[in-house]
């Protein structure tokens, strides 16, 4: 646990406090069970065990069984409720809103803008400016998921048919791993994301770049790749803004080359991994929705060259 935000460190403190209380209670109970147990055993062996009478030990039951647990639980309740109230809402107005949609098994990330032309849709990688609270709206495209970036915030469940709101903030720049925290099917374990916290200027240039449609590269190999991408099954499931590919099943690939990882944090975004993923993603992440592709070498080569232009 290395919390990188104020709410995360408040939650970490709460976790340590509860652990500490639990350890103390556990140790006290062990002592209270062992001491009379050993005494009774010795007395029985020596034949000096006193007779038990109705009402014996009632004070232990009232004090040890009711008053003390009530006091401990009251403290735990108040501290927990206070921490949750403090961490569930941003202290100041959120800078902007990000919409996150959980899919089996990847994250769709949407930066809405009043100007529809400026909307940004990406996948599995959330960029935020350092030190600014960001509002989140999370929803599901299929089953229950849970959005969790442990170093930045607690979890927010994603429940089908409902929009949940939350917020995150990173107090220092860095890349923070997020993970689906509600079992959502076969590849639940491979449903991760990266949250990239960067200085405001860097974030602004990232967002400006993401708002551009796909680069129309003059390279003839890349152009052949683009044609193949549109002609093959790729375009049925994937969108590349500014081209004929408008599929909605899989992640938006308009700027896929700018991302660090592929397949929701499963493999690094390198040419070798990408080629393997395109040809037979089922060996890498069995059960995902992408079918095995039957591309010839020339088409694969061209599509790889095209995807590399999508910065």
Applying CB under 8 A, the residues found at the interface with another protein are 142-144, 160, 182-187, 189, 286-287
Task: Determine contact, residues 148/155, Cβ cutoff 8 Å.
Answer: yes
What's the min distance (Å) between Cβ of 285 and another protein?
9
What's the min distance (Å) between Cβ of 305 and another protein?
30
Query: Which is closer to another protein, CB of 45 or CB of 54?
Result: 54
Query: Which is closer to another protein, CB of 142 or CB of 204?
Result: 142
Closest CA to 110 of 132, 88, 92, 136: 136
Closest CA to 149 of 201, 205, 107, 104: 107
Composition of the chain by helix, strand, coil, percent to 5: 45, 20, 40
What's the min distance (Å) between Cβ of 92 and another protein?
35
What's the min distance (Å) between Cβ of 103 and another protein?
13
Query: Which is closer to another protein, CB of 31 or CB of 186?
Result: 186
Instruction: State the burial class of residue 7 (Cβ atoms within 10 Å of its Cβ: 0-12, 13-18, 19+).
Output: buried
What's the min distance (Å) between Cβ of 144 and another protein?
5
Closest CA to 185 of 233, 245, 140: 140
What's the min distance (Å) between Cβ of 143 and another protein?
4
Query: Which is closer to another protein, CB of 273 or CB of 301?
Result: 273
Query: Which is closer to another protein, CB of 140 or CB of 243?
Result: 140
Q: How do strand 192-198 and strand 156-158 relate by DSSP bridges?
A: unpaired
Closest CA to 276 of 289, 287, 290: 290
Task: Determine contact, residues 192/288, Cβ cutoff 8 Å.
Answer: no
Query: Which is closer to another protein, CB of 168 or CB of 193?
Result: 193
């Amino acid at each position: 646990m290395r919390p990188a935000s104020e709410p995360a460190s408040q939650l970490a403190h709460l976790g340590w406090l509860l652990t500490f209380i639990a350890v103390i209670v556990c140790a006290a109970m062990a002592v209270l069970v062992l001491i009379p147990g050993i005494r009774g055993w010795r007395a029985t062996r020596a034949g000096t065990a006193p007779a038990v009478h109705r009402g014996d030990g009632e004070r232990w039951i009232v004090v040890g069984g009711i008053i003390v647990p009530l006091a401990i639980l009251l403290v735990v309740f108040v501290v927990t409720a206070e921490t949750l109230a403090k961490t569930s809402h941003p202290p100041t107005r959120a800078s902007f809103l990000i919409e996150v949609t959980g899919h089996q098994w990847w994250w769709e990330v949407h930066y809405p803008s009043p100007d529809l032309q400026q909307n940004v849709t990406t996948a599995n990688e959330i960029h935020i400016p350092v030190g600014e609270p960001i509002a989140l709206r999370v929803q599901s495209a299929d089953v229950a998921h849970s959005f969790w970036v442990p170093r930045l915030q607690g979890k927010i469940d994603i429940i089908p048919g409902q929009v949940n709101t939350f917020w995150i903030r990173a107090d220092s720049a860095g890349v923070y791993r997020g993970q689906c925290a509600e079992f959502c099917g076969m590849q639940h374990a491979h449903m991760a994301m990266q949250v990239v916290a960067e200085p405001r200027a860097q974030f602004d240039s990232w967002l400006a770049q993401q708002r551009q449609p796909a680069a129309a590269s003059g390279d003839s190999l890349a152009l052949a790749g683009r044609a193949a991408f549109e002609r093959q099954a790729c375009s049925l499931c994937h969108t590349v803004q500014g081209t004929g590919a408008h599929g909605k099943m899989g992640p938006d690939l308009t700027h896929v080359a700018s991302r660090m990882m592929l397949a929701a944090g499963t493999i690094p975004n390198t040419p070798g991994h990408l080629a393997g993923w395109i040809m037979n993603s089922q060996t890498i992440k069995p059960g995902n929705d992408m079918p095995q592709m039957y591309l010839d070498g020339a088409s694969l080569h061209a599509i790889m060259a095209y995807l590399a232009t999508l910065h």
